[in-house]
Protein backbone atom coordinates (compact mmCIF):
# COMPACT_ATOMS: atom_id res chain seq x y z
CA UNK A 1 0.00 0.00 0.00
CA UNK A 2 1.48 3.33 -1.02
CA UNK A 3 1.44 6.02 1.61
CA UNK A 4 2.31 8.85 -0.77
CA UNK A 5 -0.23 10.16 -3.26
CA UNK A 6 1.78 11.99 -5.90
CA UNK A 7 0.41 14.69 -8.12
CA UNK A 8 1.76 15.02 -11.65
CA UNK A 9 4.32 17.50 -10.37
CA UNK A 10 5.40 14.87 -7.85
CA UNK A 11 6.76 12.78 -10.69
CA UNK A 12 9.34 15.44 -11.58
CA UNK A 13 12.86 15.13 -10.21
CA UNK A 14 13.19 16.42 -6.67
CA UNK A 15 15.49 19.31 -7.63
CA UNK A 16 12.41 21.00 -9.10
CA UNK A 17 10.83 21.29 -5.69
CA UNK A 18 10.99 24.63 -3.92
CA UNK A 19 11.07 23.61 -0.25
CA UNK A 20 13.07 26.28 1.56
CA UNK A 21 14.22 26.45 5.16
CA UNK A 22 12.59 29.29 7.13
CA UNK A 23 14.63 31.57 9.35
CA UNK A 24 14.27 30.72 13.04
CA UNK A 25 16.20 33.87 13.98
CA UNK A 26 16.42 34.15 17.78
CA UNK A 27 14.38 30.94 18.23
CA UNK A 28 17.29 28.92 16.82
CA UNK A 29 19.11 28.76 20.18
CA UNK A 30 16.11 27.25 21.99
CA UNK A 31 15.88 23.52 22.60
CA UNK A 32 12.52 24.08 24.30
CA UNK A 33 10.18 27.04 23.89
CA UNK A 34 6.60 27.15 25.20
CA UNK A 35 3.71 29.58 25.37
CA UNK A 36 2.29 28.62 28.77
CA UNK A 37 4.77 26.44 30.72
CA UNK A 38 7.78 24.15 30.48
CA UNK A 39 7.94 21.03 32.65
CA UNK A 40 10.90 18.66 32.46
CA UNK A 41 11.31 15.58 34.67
CA UNK A 42 14.41 13.47 34.18
CA UNK A 43 16.52 13.50 31.04
CA UNK A 44 18.17 16.77 30.05
CA UNK A 45 18.06 19.79 27.77
CA UNK A 46 21.01 21.05 25.71
CA UNK A 47 20.15 24.58 24.62
CA UNK A 48 18.06 27.47 25.84
CA UNK A 49 14.70 27.02 27.56
CA UNK A 50 12.01 29.70 27.37
CA UNK A 51 8.36 30.45 27.99
CA UNK A 52 6.21 33.42 26.96
CA UNK A 53 3.66 34.80 27.76
CA UNK A 54 3.69 32.24 30.57
CA UNK A 55 6.48 32.20 33.13
CA UNK A 56 6.53 28.68 34.61
CA UNK A 57 9.67 26.60 34.09
CA UNK A 58 9.68 23.49 36.32
CA UNK A 59 12.76 21.26 36.23
CA UNK A 60 13.00 18.08 38.30
CA UNK A 61 16.14 16.07 37.77
CA UNK A 62 16.44 17.72 34.37
CA UNK A 63 19.77 19.47 33.82
CA UNK A 64 19.71 22.38 31.37
CA UNK A 65 22.84 23.25 29.44
CA UNK A 66 21.77 26.69 28.29
CA UNK A 67 19.98 29.84 29.47
CA UNK A 68 16.49 29.91 30.96
CA UNK A 69 14.15 32.70 29.87
CA UNK A 70 11.00 32.92 31.98
CA UNK A 71 8.54 35.39 30.48
CA UNK A 72 11.28 37.83 29.48
CA UNK A 73 11.91 39.87 26.33
CA UNK A 74 14.21 37.20 24.90
CA UNK A 75 11.50 34.52 25.13
CA UNK A 76 8.97 36.98 23.69
CA UNK A 77 11.13 37.67 20.63
CA UNK A 78 11.81 33.96 20.20
CA UNK A 79 8.05 33.34 20.12
CA UNK A 80 7.64 36.07 17.50
CA UNK A 81 10.36 34.50 15.38
CA UNK A 82 9.00 30.96 15.86
CA UNK A 83 5.54 32.13 14.71
CA UNK A 84 7.07 33.72 11.62
CA UNK A 85 8.83 30.44 10.83
CA UNK A 86 5.57 28.52 11.39
CA UNK A 87 3.72 30.77 8.94
CA UNK A 88 6.53 30.42 6.41
CA UNK A 89 6.28 26.63 6.61
CA UNK A 90 2.49 26.69 6.41
CA UNK A 91 2.62 28.82 3.26
CA UNK A 92 4.92 26.60 1.22
CA UNK A 93 3.40 24.67 -1.66
CA UNK A 94 2.81 20.98 -1.08
CA UNK A 95 4.81 18.49 -3.16
CA UNK A 96 3.42 15.25 -1.72
CA UNK A 97 0.34 14.19 0.24
CA UNK A 98 1.47 12.15 3.25
CA UNK A 99 -0.80 9.44 4.65
CA UNK A 100 -2.21 10.01 8.12
CA UNK A 101 -0.73 6.60 9.04
CA UNK A 102 2.61 6.35 7.22
CA UNK A 103 4.56 3.12 7.04
CA UNK A 104 8.32 2.64 7.13
CA UNK A 105 9.79 4.22 4.00
CA UNK A 106 12.48 6.49 2.55
CA UNK A 107 11.58 10.07 1.61
CA UNK A 108 13.42 12.51 -0.65
CA UNK A 109 13.47 16.33 -0.20
CA UNK A 110 10.28 18.29 -0.54
CA UNK A 111 7.12 19.44 1.25
CA UNK A 112 4.93 16.65 2.67
CA UNK A 113 1.36 17.43 3.68
CA UNK A 114 -1.23 15.65 5.82
CA UNK A 115 -4.36 17.75 6.50
CA UNK A 116 -5.82 15.08 8.80
CA UNK A 117 -2.80 14.77 11.09
CA UNK A 118 -0.30 11.94 11.38
CA UNK A 119 -0.04 8.89 13.67
CA UNK A 120 3.04 6.67 13.54
CA UNK A 121 3.58 3.52 15.61
CA UNK A 122 6.75 1.50 15.05
CA UNK A 123 7.55 3.48 11.91
CA UNK A 124 10.93 4.54 10.53
CA UNK A 125 11.07 7.49 8.14
CA UNK A 126 14.45 7.76 6.44
CA UNK A 127 15.12 11.21 5.01
CA UNK A 128 17.47 10.82 2.05
CA UNK A 129 19.13 14.08 0.95
CA UNK A 130 20.63 12.35 -2.12
CA UNK A 131 24.02 13.86 -1.41
CA UNK A 132 22.78 17.45 -1.02
CA UNK A 133 23.58 18.78 2.47
CA UNK A 134 21.28 21.76 1.79
CA UNK A 135 18.25 19.60 0.99
CA UNK A 136 15.13 20.66 2.92
CA UNK A 137 12.35 18.44 4.26
CA UNK A 138 9.11 20.07 5.43
CA UNK A 139 6.16 18.30 7.02
CA UNK A 140 2.87 20.19 7.15
CA UNK A 141 0.65 18.43 9.69
CA UNK A 142 -2.90 19.83 9.64
CA UNK A 143 -3.96 18.38 13.01
CA UNK A 144 -2.03 16.39 15.64
CA UNK A 145 1.28 14.54 15.31
CA UNK A 146 1.64 11.33 17.34
CA UNK A 147 4.76 9.16 17.19
CA UNK A 148 5.21 6.02 19.31
CA UNK A 149 8.25 3.71 19.16
CA UNK A 150 9.23 5.38 15.90
CA UNK A 151 12.24 7.17 14.51
CA UNK A 152 13.46 9.67 11.95
CA UNK A 153 16.74 8.73 10.29
CA UNK A 154 18.99 11.04 8.25
CA UNK A 155 20.77 9.66 5.20
CA UNK A 156 23.23 10.76 2.48
CA UNK A 157 23.86 14.30 3.67
CA UNK A 158 20.52 15.07 5.31
CA UNK A 159 20.80 17.51 8.22
CA UNK A 160 18.41 17.87 11.13
CA UNK A 161 18.70 21.66 10.85
CA UNK A 162 17.02 21.39 7.42
CA UNK A 163 14.07 19.32 8.67
CA UNK A 164 10.92 21.14 9.84
CA UNK A 165 7.60 19.99 11.27
CA UNK A 166 4.69 22.47 11.17
CA UNK A 167 2.01 20.99 13.44
CA UNK A 168 -1.38 22.68 13.71
CA UNK A 169 -2.38 21.20 17.06
CA UNK A 170 -0.64 18.90 19.58
CA UNK A 171 2.48 16.77 19.18
CA UNK A 172 3.13 13.64 21.27
CA UNK A 173 6.45 11.79 21.03
CA UNK A 174 6.86 8.54 23.00
CA UNK A 175 9.95 6.27 22.92
CA UNK A 176 10.90 7.98 19.69
CA UNK A 177 14.05 9.27 18.02
CA UNK A 178 13.09 12.59 16.48
CA UNK A 179 15.01 14.83 14.08
CA UNK A 180 14.10 18.36 13.03
CA UNK A 181 12.55 21.53 14.42
CA UNK A 182 8.98 20.93 15.58
CA UNK A 183 6.70 23.99 15.84
CA UNK A 184 3.20 23.33 17.24
CA UNK A 185 0.62 26.13 17.23
CA UNK A 186 -2.63 25.13 18.90
CA UNK A 187 -1.62 22.27 21.16
CA UNK A 188 0.93 21.06 23.68
CA UNK A 189 4.13 19.17 22.93
CA UNK A 190 4.78 16.06 25.06
CA UNK A 191 7.98 14.02 24.89
CA UNK A 192 8.43 10.80 26.89
CA UNK A 193 11.51 8.53 26.76
CA UNK A 194 12.50 10.34 23.58
CA UNK A 195 15.54 11.97 22.00
CA UNK A 196 14.65 15.10 20.03
CA UNK A 197 17.28 16.96 18.02
CA UNK A 198 16.69 20.54 16.88
CA UNK A 199 14.09 21.89 19.26
CA UNK A 200 10.50 21.56 20.43
CA UNK A 201 8.68 24.89 20.07
CA UNK A 202 5.07 25.31 21.25
CA UNK A 203 3.62 28.69 20.27
CA UNK A 204 0.64 28.83 22.62
CA UNK A 205 0.67 25.79 24.91
CA UNK A 206 3.01 23.82 27.17
CA UNK A 207 6.02 21.60 26.53
CA UNK A 208 6.31 18.60 28.86
CA UNK A 209 9.37 16.35 28.76
CA UNK A 210 9.83 13.14 30.78
CA UNK A 211 13.07 11.13 30.69
CA UNK A 212 13.94 12.69 27.34
CA UNK A 213 16.99 14.42 25.90
CA UNK A 214 16.22 17.52 23.84
CA UNK A 215 18.80 19.60 21.98
CA UNK A 216 18.92 22.69 19.82
CA UNK A 217 20.83 22.26 16.59
CA UNK A 218 21.85 25.59 15.07
CA UNK A 219 24.44 24.74 12.42
CA UNK A 220 24.42 21.02 13.20
CA UNK A 221 25.72 18.25 11.00
CA UNK A 222 22.64 16.06 11.16
CA UNK A 223 23.31 14.64 14.60
CA UNK A 224 22.93 15.81 18.15
CA UNK A 225 25.40 18.63 18.74
CA UNK A 226 28.72 17.11 19.81
CA UNK A 227 29.51 19.84 22.35
CA UNK A 228 26.59 21.60 24.07
CA UNK A 229 27.20 25.25 24.85
CA UNK A 230 28.28 26.47 28.26
CA UNK A 231 29.47 23.19 29.76
CA UNK A 232 28.88 23.95 33.45
CA UNK A 233 31.83 22.01 34.88
CA UNK A 234 35.58 21.72 34.50
CA UNK A 235 36.81 19.43 31.78
CA UNK A 236 38.47 17.10 34.27
CA UNK A 237 35.34 15.69 35.91
CA UNK A 238 33.96 12.29 35.03
CA UNK A 239 31.60 9.51 36.16
CA UNK A 240 32.40 5.81 36.42
CA UNK A 241 30.54 2.72 37.55
CA UNK A 242 27.87 0.28 36.53
CA UNK A 243 25.38 -2.23 37.80
CA UNK A 244 22.04 -3.72 36.85
CA UNK A 245 18.51 -2.41 36.31
CA UNK A 246 15.34 -4.42 35.70
CA UNK A 247 12.92 -3.57 32.87
CA UNK A 248 9.11 -3.76 32.98
CA UNK A 249 9.28 -7.51 32.23
CA UNK A 250 11.66 -8.06 35.16
CA UNK A 251 14.55 -8.74 32.81
CA UNK A 252 18.01 -7.71 33.99
CA UNK A 253 20.04 -5.14 32.02
CA UNK A 254 23.66 -4.60 33.07
CA UNK A 255 25.99 -1.72 32.24
CA UNK A 256 29.49 -0.49 32.98
CA UNK A 257 31.14 2.79 32.01
CA UNK A 258 33.83 5.45 32.29
CA UNK A 259 32.55 8.77 30.88
CA UNK A 260 34.14 12.23 30.80
CA UNK A 261 32.16 15.46 31.22
CA UNK A 262 33.94 16.87 28.16
CA UNK A 263 33.41 14.91 24.94
CA UNK A 264 36.89 15.87 23.75
CA UNK A 265 38.51 14.03 26.68
CA UNK A 266 38.99 10.31 27.15
CA UNK A 267 38.71 7.53 27.84
CA UNK A 268 34.97 7.18 27.25
CA UNK A 269 33.60 3.68 27.52
CA UNK A 270 30.09 2.28 27.92
CA UNK A 271 28.88 -1.29 27.55
CA UNK A 272 25.27 -2.43 28.01
CA UNK A 273 24.26 -6.12 28.08
CA UNK A 274 20.77 -7.62 28.06
CA UNK A 275 18.72 -10.59 26.91
CA UNK A 276 20.41 -13.51 25.18
CA UNK A 277 23.73 -12.04 24.14
CA UNK A 278 22.68 -8.48 23.22
CA UNK A 279 25.51 -5.98 23.69
CA UNK A 280 25.93 -2.28 22.95
CA UNK A 281 29.48 -0.89 22.93
CA UNK A 282 30.12 2.86 22.80
CA UNK A 283 32.49 4.05 20.06
CA UNK A 284 32.03 7.84 20.14
CA UNK A 285 30.67 10.10 22.88
CA UNK A 286 28.74 12.94 21.17
CA UNK A 287 26.88 14.70 23.99
CA UNK A 288 27.75 15.24 27.66
CA UNK A 289 25.86 17.24 30.29
CA UNK A 290 27.17 16.98 33.86
CA UNK A 291 25.28 18.94 36.52
CA UNK A 292 24.25 18.86 40.14
CA UNK A 293 20.57 18.05 40.71
CA UNK A 294 19.37 19.77 43.93
CA UNK A 295 16.75 17.04 44.37
CA UNK A 296 19.49 14.44 44.91
CA UNK A 297 20.82 14.37 48.46
CA UNK A 298 23.41 13.89 49.70
CA UNK A 299 25.58 15.49 47.06
CA UNK A 300 28.47 13.42 45.75
CA UNK A 301 31.32 13.87 48.25
CA UNK A 302 34.04 13.76 45.60
CA UNK A 303 32.71 15.93 42.75
CA UNK A 304 30.62 19.01 41.91
CA UNK A 305 27.91 17.07 40.08
CA UNK A 306 25.69 14.02 40.51
CA UNK A 307 23.91 13.63 37.14
CA UNK A 308 25.37 12.64 33.77
CA UNK A 309 23.25 12.96 30.61
CA UNK A 310 24.91 11.58 27.50
CA UNK A 311 24.48 10.42 23.93
CA UNK A 312 26.85 8.41 21.79
CA UNK A 313 27.18 6.16 18.79
CA UNK A 314 28.48 2.62 18.76
CA UNK A 315 27.93 -0.98 17.78
CA UNK A 316 25.01 -3.24 18.61
CA UNK A 317 25.94 -6.92 18.59
CA UNK A 318 29.03 -6.03 16.57
CA UNK A 319 27.19 -3.95 13.96
CA UNK A 320 27.98 -0.22 13.88
CA UNK A 321 25.35 2.49 13.50
CA UNK A 322 23.51 2.24 16.82
CA UNK A 323 22.85 5.19 19.13
CA UNK A 324 22.52 5.25 22.92
CA UNK A 325 21.14 7.96 25.20
CA UNK A 326 21.50 7.66 28.96
CA UNK A 327 21.03 9.43 32.27
CA UNK A 328 23.16 8.17 35.17
CA UNK A 329 22.90 9.59 38.69
CA UNK A 330 25.15 9.27 41.75
CA UNK A 331 22.89 9.56 44.80
CA UNK A 332 25.51 8.78 47.43
CA UNK A 333 26.90 5.63 48.99
CA UNK A 334 26.01 2.80 48.77
CA UNK A 335 24.58 2.88 45.26
CA UNK A 336 21.05 1.66 46.05
CA UNK A 337 19.53 5.05 45.14
CA UNK A 338 21.68 5.54 42.05
CA UNK A 339 19.53 5.65 38.93
CA UNK A 340 20.02 4.65 35.29
CA UNK A 341 17.95 5.45 32.22
CA UNK A 342 19.20 3.87 28.97
CA UNK A 343 17.66 4.09 25.49
CA UNK A 344 19.32 2.32 22.54
CA UNK A 345 18.23 2.57 18.90
CA UNK A 346 19.42 1.20 15.59
CA UNK A 347 18.03 1.13 12.07
CA UNK A 348 15.03 -0.91 13.21
CA UNK A 349 13.99 1.56 15.92
CA UNK A 350 14.23 1.41 19.70
CA UNK A 351 15.78 -1.87 20.77
CA UNK A 352 16.15 -1.13 24.49
CA UNK A 353 14.46 1.33 26.85
CA UNK A 354 14.91 0.92 30.60
CA UNK A 355 14.79 3.23 33.60
CA UNK A 356 15.13 2.51 37.32
CA UNK A 357 17.27 2.45 40.44
CA UNK A 358 20.27 0.13 40.49
CA UNK A 359 19.53 -3.34 41.81
CA UNK A 360 23.22 -3.71 42.50
CA UNK A 361 26.28 -1.70 41.56
CA UNK A 362 27.30 1.92 41.96
CA UNK A 363 27.71 5.18 40.04
CA UNK A 364 30.54 7.44 41.20
CA UNK A 365 31.13 11.06 40.17
CA UNK A 366 34.78 12.16 40.24
CA UNK A 367 36.68 15.44 40.04
Domain ranges in the chain?
4-215, 238-366
Q: Is the pLDDT of residue 366 over 50?
A: yes
Cβ–Cβ under 8 Å, residues 281 and 271:
yes
| Per-residue confidence (pLDDT) for residue 294, from 0 to 100 | 62
| Per-residue confidence (pLDDT) for residue 334, from 0 to 100 | 76
Q: 102-127 pLDDT, tens per residue?
A: 999 999 999 999 998 999 999 989 99
Q: 152-207 pLDDT, tens per residue?
A: 888 888 888 999 999 999 999 998 889 999 999 999 999 998 888 899 999 999 99
Separation of alpha carbons 82 and 88, rounded Å: 10
Percent of the chain topping pLDDT 70? 88
| Per-residue confidence (pLDDT) for residue 8, from 0 to 100 | 27
| Per-residue confidence (pLDDT) for residue 165, from 0 to 100 | 98
Does residue 290 or residue 184 have the better pLDDT?
184
Q: Is the pLDDT of residue 227 over 90?
A: no
Structure pTM? 0.67
Q: 330-364 pLDDT, tens per residue?
A: 888 777 789 888 888 787 767 887 878 898 899 99
Q: 12-30 pLDDT, tens per residue?
A: 333 445 799 999 999 999 9
Of the candidates 140, 167, 135, 141, the one whose C-alpha atom is nearest the C-alpha of residue 154 is 135
| Per-residue confidence (pLDDT) for residue 225, from 0 to 100 | 32
Q: 141-155 pLDDT, tens per residue?
A: 999 999 998 888 888
Q: Is the pLDDT of residue 298 over 70?
A: no
| Per-residue confidence (pLDDT) for residue 349, from 0 to 100 | 67
Exposure letters 143-181 (e unless 16+ CB within 10 A, then b): bbbbbbbbbbbbeebbbbbbbbbbbbbbbbbbbbbbbbb
| Per-residue confidence (pLDDT) for residue 17, from 0 to 100 | 57
Amino acid sequence: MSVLILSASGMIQNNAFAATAPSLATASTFAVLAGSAVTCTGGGIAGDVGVFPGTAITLTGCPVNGTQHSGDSVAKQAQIDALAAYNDLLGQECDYNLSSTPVTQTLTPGVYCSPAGVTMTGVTLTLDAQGDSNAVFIFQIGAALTMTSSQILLEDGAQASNVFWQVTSAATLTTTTFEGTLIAKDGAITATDTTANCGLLALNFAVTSTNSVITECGGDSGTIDPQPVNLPLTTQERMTGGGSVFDSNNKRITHGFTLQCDVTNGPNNLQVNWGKGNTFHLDTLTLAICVDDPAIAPKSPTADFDTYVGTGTGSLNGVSGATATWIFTDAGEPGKKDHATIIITDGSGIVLSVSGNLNNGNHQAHK
